[in-house]
Amino acid sequence: MLERLAALIEKSPAAVLLGVLALGAAISFGAFDWRTGQIKLSVDSGMERLLPTDDAARVRYDRVVAQFGSDRSLVAVMTADDVFTAEVFADIEAITRALNRLPGVAAVASLASVPNPQSDDDTLDLATFTQSGLANPERLPQLRDDLAVHPLYRGVLVSEDARAAAFIISMREGSDADINAVTELVRDTVRGHAAGEVFLTGASVVKRATADLLLKELRFAVPAVFGFACLVLAVAFGSLRAVVFGVFSMALSVAMTLGVLGWLDRPLNLVTVIVPPFVITLGLAYAMHVLEAYGEADGSGAKERAAKALRAVGVAVAVTALTTAAGLAALGLHPLAAIREFGWLALLGIGFAALLSLVMLPALLAVAGHATRRTPPATAWFHRMGDRLASFALRHRREMLGLGIALLVVALLSLLRLSVGTAYIENLPEDHVARLDFEAIDERFGSATGLLVAVETNHRDAILEPDLLLSIEAFQEWLAEQPEVAGSTSIVDHLKVLHVGLVGAERGFILPSNAELAKQLLIFGGGDVLHDITDAAFRRTLIRVRAATPDTRELAGLVARIESRARDFPAGVSAAVTGESVLLAQTLSRIATGQVQSVLAALALIYVVLAVLFSSLRVGLIA
């Protein structure tokens, strides 16, 4: 086959070149949006999409979202000298009303939306904090004290020093683009009313910042790698045509790879974003083999030299591409969709790079040729060093083999100490506005990382039974003792708030004595938040946990302890931990375990290829 290709290139190089260019153009055009005239290049930084749709953790998360709504939320914070003043309360009222009018906003929790139940002459007053404060400014000091002991919102809506007020904005389900658009509207809305500083954070803010950063780095990395490739080609061959031909081959292979994504209407993700530099690097190696062989080939013309170059290095380049492809194909066994996409996309890119190096580049050289410099810089030095290293290795071959085995053992033992995790926000530069806002809010309110504990029973109204409510209360007390937990809220806290409005503040925040009273309190006083904490049959409920750390390693440990402690719930009650942050931690864990499987599969495939190539099981094993 290689001989036929070499003969065809020698006979009709222009036809071969035009055919490959036509194929490359057709595939590459998929990366362009002809309606806008722009490149269709986007990065999906959502971690939950990395899990397969049939994964148990993903199914659990989707079920909870379908039942209780999305856990996607934003936290906006405005600063003031003192939140508990009539002027600031009026600003909070205006901001809350404006936020509720925004498309994509499901609900806003703030001092202007949460009730502060009070009983007076057998009536239950469910006025919000701002309504009470603006109607009776003399009650502002008392409202400060009420919030300080509020089971649901102490330390959540106002900072401990009362110099910052928070707005917790729950988002409706939608695409990342829709949520990003709403995020900007939220930022502008709060800034338009607040007199002090404004900070905004949330998963969508950090994910968008990460995606923008990845695109920015990709726009830098690809030209930088091309620039380095130009330098290497110029030094190695001293020919402008060699530089242009080599770079064109690499550029077209990247364009074809991204074109496939465009035709499939798939964005890059946190893993596939490294494919373009990867393809350029290997494409440079393939191109240099062909260009070097062309320079060393003897012949009467460019066509003959191009054909001889292909015959000389075609097998080596093809085998190198084949072994690389085998390793990448092994990634197709990875349980995560994103890793599988990387494997197949990189496999396509390597295939395109090899195709262009073995077909287009020889045809291009046959048509145009390039001036060759017989002796690249430092050739003699490299030859001398190569001879010395080879002689040394042969004289001490047993020691070299023993050293290699020892290094392999040390490496494998070191792998056992490897842990996988990330603090998502630390991926951003220290001066990035998303990181500065996150750290400012973290300083005033603690981490905004959320976990969801979904509690499910086996019969109607079971959630309202006093014994189960007491179990949830004990579970939350245990959560409060965990160093990674900043706080938690549940149906227990909502019932305590509603009940104190009925029985009076002097009795404190206590649970209702029976299930019937609990049901009445929730139905008549739960309001819009009722569907966020339980279902219509009162069989399921959510415990919302605020974690004090964004580090996925610490979160994974906390999740394991929570799931262990949740087994202490009464018989017939099950509990599971989920949420975007949980998916992130579990995704990283799956990446680590899946990588081990993929590496072993890649080694096996590559060994088979090498053993067949060299017709020796021993040589294949050594290689």
Q: Give, as one character, the DSSP assignment of residue 172.
A: P
Q: The tokens 């040390």 sit on which residue?
A: 410
Nearest to 429 by CA among 209, 274, 221: 209
Q: What is the average per-residue pLDDT within 138-148?
A: 87
Task: Give the pLDDT score at 496.
Answer: 83
**Alpha-carbon torsion, ordered 419, 425, 429, 432, to 10 deg:** 180
CA-to-CA distance for 550 and 588, rounded, in angstroms? Answer: 14
CA-to-CA distance for 245 and 247, rounded, in angstroms? Answer: 6
Q: Using pLDDT thresholds of 50, 70 and 90, give the confidence band for residue 23.
A: very high
Six-digit token string for 453:
């504990």
Least confident range from 89-98, 393-402, 448-457: namely 448-457
Q: What is the average per-residue pLDDT within 77-89?
A: 92
More confident residue, 47 or 217: 217
Does position 538 have pLDDT exceeding 80, yes or no? yes
Q: Using pLDDT thresholds of 50, 70 and 90, give the confidence band for residue 156.
A: confident
Q: Which residues, in sequence order, are bridge partners of residue 120?
A: 123
Residues of the chain with CATH 1.20.1640.10: 2-48+212-419
Helix (H, G, I), strand (E, B) or coil at 201: strand
The DSSP-derived string for 69-108 is ----EEEEEEE-S-SSSHHHHHHHHHHHHHHHTSTTEEEE
Q: Give, as one character, the DSSP assignment of residue 447.
A: -
Task: Give the pLDDT score at 505.
Answer: 55
Task: Give the pLDDT score at 93.
Answer: 92
Nearest to 362 by CA among 21, 13, 18, 20: 13
Q: What is the average per-residue pLDDT within 358-382?
A: 77
What is this structure's pTM? Answer: 0.71
Q: What is the pLDDT of residues 549-564, one digit of tens each?
A: 777 777 888 888 999 9
Integer CA distances (angstroms), 515 to 383, 410, 518, in order: 87, 62, 5
Q: Using pLDDT thresholds of 50, 70 and 90, give the confidence band for residue 203.
A: confident
Task: Give the pLDDT score at 125.
Answer: 66
CA-to-CA distance for 219 and 207, rounded, in angstroms? Answer: 18
**AA letter at 26:** A
Structural contact between residues 354 and 318, judged by C-beta atoms closer than 8 angstroms: yes
Task: Give the pLDDT score at 50.
Answer: 62
Q: Using pLDDT thresholds of 50, 70 and 90, give the confidence band for residue 36.
A: confident
- Cα angle: 89, vertex 91, 92; to 5 degrees: 65
Task: Give the pLDDT score at 56.
Answer: 73
More confident residue, 97 or 326: 97
Does position 517 have pLDDT exceeding 80, yes or no? yes
Output phi, psi for 357, to 5 deg: -70, -35
Q: The tokens 């569907």 sit on which residue?
A: 531
**Alpha-carbon torsion, ordered 322, 325, 330, 336, to 10 deg:** -170
Q: Using pLDDT thresholds of 50, 70 and 90, give the confidence band for residue 21.
A: very high
Q: Using pLDDT thresholds of 50, 70 and 90, give the confidence band for residue 70.
A: low
Q: Give, as one character, the DSSP assignment of residue 29.
A: G
Structural contact between residues 515 and 466, judged by C-beta atoms closer than 8 angstroms: yes
Nearest to 552 by CA among 417, 418, 421: 421
Task: Give the pLDDT score at 87.
Answer: 93
Pairing mode, strands 43-44 and 268-269: parallel
Helix (H, G, I), strand (E, B) or coil at 266: coil
Does position 215 have pLDDT exceeding 70, yes or no? yes
Helix (H, G, I), strand (E, B) or coil at 456: strand
User: Angle, nearest 10°, between helix axes 337-355 and 240-264?
Assistant: 140
- Sign of the alpha-carbon dihedral angle for 601, 606, 608, 611: negative
Write the CB contacts of 14 (distance below 8 Å, at least 6 apart in sequence). Answer: 363, 367
The DSSP-derived string for 572-609 is T-EEEEESHHHHHHHHHHHHHHHHHHHHHHHHHHHHHH
Integer CA distances (angstroms), 578 to 171, 557, 581, in order: 18, 14, 8
CATH number of this structure's domain 2-48+212-419? 1.20.1640.10
CA-to-CA distance for 328 and 514, rounded, in angstroms? Answer: 61
Q: What is the pLDDT of residues 572-613, one digit of tens each?
A: 899 988 887 777 677 766 666 666 666 777 777 777 777 777
Q: What is the pLDDT of residues 242-263, one digit of tens each?
A: 889 999 999 999 999 999 998 9
Mean pLDDT of the chain: 82
> Which strands make up the sheet holding 485-489, listed edge to edge?
485-489, 540-547, 449-456, 574-578
Write the CB contacts of 455 (distance below 8 Å, at least 6 apart in sequence). Answer: 463, 472, 540, 541, 542, 543, 569, 573, 574, 575
Q: What is the pLDDT of residues 258-279, one digit of tens each?
A: 999 989 888 887 778 889 989 9
More confident residue, 208 or 90: 90
Structural contact between residues 115 and 499, judged by C-beta atoms closer than 8 angstroms: no
Q: What is the average per-residue pLDDT within 118-138?
A: 77
Q: What is the average per-residue pLDDT within 63-78?
A: 78
Q: What is the pLDDT of residues 425-481, one digit of tens each?
A: 777 888 888 889 988 888 888 766 778 898 999 889 888 898 999 999 999 999 989
Taking phi over 0 as left and psi of -120 to 50 as alpha, with beta for the rest, 447 belongs to beta
Does position 27 have pLDDT exceeding 90, yes or no? yes
Q: The tokens 């709403």 sit on which residue?
A: 182
More confident residue, 601 or 492: 492
Does position 423 have pLDDT exceeding 70, yes or no? no
Nearest to 450 by CA among 186, 230, 156: 156
Task: Give the pLDDT score at 355.
Answer: 93
Write the CB contacts of 56 (distance below 8 Å, at least 6 apart in sequence). Answer: none
Count the residues in the chain. 623
